Structure 1
Amino acid sequence: MAETLNEALVQAYLSNPTLNAQRASTRATDELVPQALSGYRPQIGASADGGVEGTRVRRPSQGFSTKTETLTASAGLTVEQPLFDGFRTKNSVRQAESSVLASRETLLNTEQNVLFDGAEAYMNVLRDFAIFDLRRNNVDLLDEELRATNERFEVGEVTRTDTALAQSRLSGARSEFSVAEANLKASRAIYRQVIGSDPTKLHPGQPIDKLLPPSEKAALEIGYVEHPASRAALHAVDAAEMQVRVIQGELAPSLSLQGNAGHQWDNSNSSPDGGVTDLERHTSSASVLGVLRVPIYQGGQEYSRVRESKEILGQRRLEADSVRDQVRAAVVSAWGALEGAKAQIIAAQAQVEASTIALSGVREEARVGQRTTLDVLNFQQEQLDARVALITAQRDRVVASYALLQAIGRLNVATLALNVPAYDARIHYDQVRDKWFGLRTPDGR
């Protein structure tokens, strides 16, 4: 069971289904490279056939007929080694490698999102539990206030209006308590969804200011270079550019070396009138050929696909610019939210201190008849609102620090120094890159 924020993030990093699904997607993308490398390797095929054929020839004018049965079987082996394919294989390998790099950056971005969701879910539970506790205490306080007001009404110190006001505030407090309880249940449900277990005994979360850049300008510079979404977009541009070259290679001639070997067996049984004749024949053949294929015109499909891939390349470049703008907007927004949360905490703390002093004074004044029940209830509500605002600001302060670290692309296991081994996507890639055959995945499936 997670008790600290870092422990909760470790659990999310290990068990979050969204993150594990993206890791599986990255492993699937790794297979694009051996698929592309297969273009360098020979293709081997075998074939075999067999059967029987029967014929019967009647010659009435000559007074006899002939029946022939032929058993035939053959087997062959073909080996073709590509020598030149218009650099399609070379560019396909480069395209696959760019796709792998883009997939890794997408995985890092997903890790960031999951870790941020974990931090936000953790702080939401803390916030909602604290507000739930305040609302519950407020109900108890107002219930006691109503009891005291009723006693004072019975001795004639207050009017029916005062008891009605106390009853009204108590009913409103119970309604707010119900809302706080519902919010807490929702936060706990989201916590379980993201972290993987129910929250228990959560310790207060702390902002991570020491991991943040000193200025907004520095944050923008880091985000432009290091944010995984931005780097994934650039790798997507590289992959699209290689796709253009792959399709252009279909218009170039190709050269391959082809070897064939075969054996055929025939056994004929002829039975004309007056005798039987058997004939058995074995035929072996082998050849080595150089095959040159020159495309001249195939209906214009390749030309259309080249134009299409060029448009997709332009689209990927525009998307990379868009992602860069999104990173900038996220950094500026997160920086402003962090600065705003800091100011809100200072203001909320001052408000809590002032409202506490004011409430104490109003209660003393009410005891000597200088303040009404309404005054006491109003100041109690003001103090409660101030405490809720402080709790919310403290939560926002922590979440904003994680949001800024996410916006610059550094919300990861290494930066947070989480006690868990970082997932290394290169291990699976190295395991499958040069596999020539095999149906099992590296984990044995």
Structure 2
Amino acid sequence: MQSLFRVLAVLAAGLVAAPMAKAETLTDALIAAYNNSNLLDQNRAVLRAADEDVAVAVSALRPVVAFTAQSSWRKADVAGVTGVITSEGLSSSLTLSAELTLLDFGRSRLGIEISKESVLATRQALINVEQQVLLAAVQAYVDVRLAQEVVALRNSNLRLITQELRAAQDRFDVGEITRTDVALAESRLAQSRAALSSAEGQLLVAREAYKAATGAYPGRLAALPPSPKIGRTLDEAQSVAIKTHPQILQAQHQVSIAELQVALAKAGMKPTVGASASISRDDDGLDTQTFGLSLNQTLYAGGKLSALYRQSLANKDNSSAGLRQTVVGISQNLGVAWANLAVSLASIEASDRQIRAAQTAFDGVREEAALGARTTLDVLDAEQELLDARNGRLTAEADRYVGVYSVLSAMGLLTVEHLQLGIPTYDPEGYYDAVKTAPATSAQGKKLDRILKKIGN
């Protein structure tokens, strides 16, 4: 326990030693969370991998060029007129070949469209992760401020009960109260110290959560700014959520992918036409050139093609139902967030009334105790009710503030762009534009290297 006090003393000394340091704002915390999030980095890499799927699909429209260099040594016994003759020799050849699919009834084009829809779906998943990162930062910021305010409240309570104990001891010394009253005050003082230790522990826990969310421990935190706008009614908020929430948009792209997969399964039952060409030279310097066309059609595959088609239809139904369920889930989450916000607002109003009444009661009981009409226990009980009311007010206000951002997240609007944080953001199209045409080594390849280097930094 003493080590806990030492840690808190060091933290307090650091804050006092730099009173002129600029206070950290919620905007600072959100920017730090966005810039330092490993989760965002991880999902950006997932998106870049999806971008490469487009390049892979585009490559199916292009010829495949390869070369084969071959060398072999052969020794053989051959029966001749005069007996067995042994022959041996080294043969080599070099072949350059090219193959190109001329007609596949849309398979390659469908593959490209599927990859593009996958990219769009993955972008929406990245936006949803961004919302999670920013909401965690808001929660961490509010939790640290709440923990600090609770520690201050507990310290004030400890000082007040210490004064009550001194007053009780003075009254006991002159015979106005019994030893029992003093013992009650001592018990409440010990309880107050325990509550203060618990609050200090919660502050340390909140600081760790803040570091996890933003990448650094909090310094001196500024007051919370005004809450962002969320709309006037739940119906308005739900209408926005259905149009903008990244999970819904992601599910829509997944439905498009499923529909394209059905068309791809149909195309898989049709033939393909290809062309091939090769040039080879052997070790005797003789050249061979070949050109050809091929038509491939699967006549029977044991029911595999029909099964794949039926499977694509089932996956389409699955995606459509998933989209509808996603809309239901988002609407539910938004409704719950909206209700929790309303509860917090009501709790704040009730806590304000409770604090006023508890303050009046405490002041009255303390005056009556000074006149001998109330016991020490009455004073301590009144003070505890006032403390509980103030603590409840702090918690309700914290819940209300986080509740506003929870509603924003449920609407799909908790993003750097919507919050207007004023910082450069990750461009999901930058990498895609550099690889969508499947570059190998060219000016585009150098541009891609610059993008990768920038991402790495």
- TM-score when normalising by structure 1: 0.91
Cα distance, 1:51 vs. partner?
2.2
- Whole-angstrom distance in 2 between the partners of 1:80 and 1:139: 84
- Work out which of the residue numbers 63, 68, 71 in structure 2 matches 1:50: 71
Paired residues for 1:202-351 under 5 Å: 202-209=221-228, 211-265=229-283, 281-351=284-354
Name 1:40's counterpart in structure 2: 61
**Structure 1 range deviating more: 171-180 or 408-417:** 171-180
The secondary structure found in structure 1 opposite 2:60 is: helix
Give the direction of change, closer, same or farther, for the CA distance of 1:57–1:344 in structure 2 (3 Å limit): closer
Name 2:97's counterpart in structure 1: 78
Instruction: Render the CA deviation track for 1:33-61: whole Å, top value 9, x for unaligned.
Output: 111111101101111211222345577x8
**Structure 1 range deviating more: 239-248 or 102-111:** 239-248
- Whole-angstrom distance in 1 between the partners of 2:76 and 2:386: 109
Letter in 2 for 1:120: Q
- Whole-angstrom distance in 2 between the partners of 1:53 and 1:95: 50
Q: Structure 1 segments of 4 or more deviating over 6 A? A: none
**Structure 1 range deviating more: 386-395 or 47-56:** 47-56
**Structure 1 range deviating more: 241-250 or 153-162:** 241-250
The secondary structure found in structure 2 opposite 1:151 is: helix
Matched-pair contact (CA < 8 Å) for 1:34–1:432:
yes
**Structure 1 range deviating more: 195-204 or 351-360:** 351-360
Name 1:92's counterpart in structure 2: 111
Instruction: Render the CA deviation track for 1:141-191: whole Å, top value 9, x for unaligned.
Output: 222322321232122111122112112212222222222122222111111
Matched-pair contact (CA < 8 Å) for 1:2–1:11:
no
Cα distance, 1:357 vs. partner?
2.6
Matched-pair contact (CA < 8 Å) for 2:125–2:247:
yes
Matched-pair contact (CA < 8 Å) for 2:58–2:438:
no
The percent of aligned pairs where both chains have the same amino acid is: 33
Letter in 1 for 2:162: D
Name 1:145's counterpart in structure 2: 164
Matched-pair contact (CA < 8 Å) for 1:260–1:287:
yes
Letter in 1 for 2:146: R
- Whole-angstrom distance in 2 between the partners of 1:150 and 1:203: 41
- Whole-angstrom distance in 2 between the partners of 1:76 and 1:57: 29
- Whole-angstrom distance in 1 between the partners of 2:376 and 2:78: 125
The secondary structure found in structure 2 opposite 1:434 is: coil
Matched-pair contact (CA < 8 Å) for 2:67–2:96:
yes
Letter in 2 for 1:320: L
Give the direction of change, closer, same or farther, for the CA distance of 1:202–1:258 in structure 2 (3 Å limit): same
Cα distance, 1:9 vs. partner?
0.3
Q: Between Structure 1 and Structure 2, whose CA radius of gyration is higher?
A: 1
Structure 2, unaligned stretches of length 5 or more?
1-21
Give the direction of change, closer, same or farther, for the CA distance of 1:57–1:390 in structure 2 (3 Å limit): closer
Letter in 1 for 2:74: E
- Whole-angstrom distance in 1 between the partners of 2:57 and 2:102: 15
Name 1:161's counterpart in structure 2: 180
Give the direction of change, closer, same or farther, for the CA distance of 1:443–1:135 in structure 2 (3 Å limit): same
Letter in 1 for 2:37: N
**Structure 1 range deviating more: 433-442 or 107-116:** 433-442
- Whole-angstrom distance in 1 between the partners of 2:156 and 2:266: 74
* 2:392 counterpart of 1:404: no
Matched-pair contact (CA < 8 Å) for 2:261–2:312:
yes
- Whole-angstrom distance in 2 between the partners of 1:34 and 1:57: 54
Name 1:430's counterpart in structure 2: 433
Give the direction of change, closer, same or farther, for the CA distance of 1:40–1:57 in structure 2 (3 Å limit): closer
Name 1:356's counterpart in structure 2: 359
- Whole-angstrom distance in 1 between the partners of 2:63 and 2:130: 40
Matched-pair contact (CA < 8 Å) for 2:23–2:222:
no
Matched-pair contact (CA < 8 Å) for 2:59–2:438:
no
* 2:105 counterpart of 1:110: no
Instruction: Render the CA deviation track for 1:117-152: whole Å, top value 9, x for unaligned.
Output: 110111011111111221122123222322321232
- Whole-angstrom distance in 1 between the partners of 2:289 and 2:180: 112
- Work out which of the residue numbers 12, 15, 18 in structure 1 matches 2:33: 12
Structure 1, unaligned stretches of length 5 or more?
266-280
Cα distance, 1:67 vs. partner?
4.2
Matched-pair contact (CA < 8 Å) for 2:188–2:380:
yes
- Work out which of the residue numbers 176, 189, 195 in structure 1 matches 2:214: 195
- Whole-angstrom distance in 1 between the partners of 2:116 and 2:85: 68
The secondary structure found in structure 2 opposite 1:77 is: strand
**Structure 1 range deviating more: 9-18 or 238-247:** 238-247
Letter in 1 for 2:231: P
The secondary structure found in structure 2 opposite 1:102 is: helix
- Whole-angstrom distance in 1 between the partners of 2:34 and 2:243: 24
* 2:198 counterpart of 1:186: no
Structure whose residues are more often helix by fraction = 2
Cα distance, 1:327 vs. partner?
1.0
- Number of equivalenced pairs: 427
Paired residues for 1:58-73 under 5 Å: 62=82, 66-73=85-92
The secondary structure found in structure 1 opposite 2:339 is: helix
> What value does the CA root-mean-square deviation take over the aligned residues?
2.0
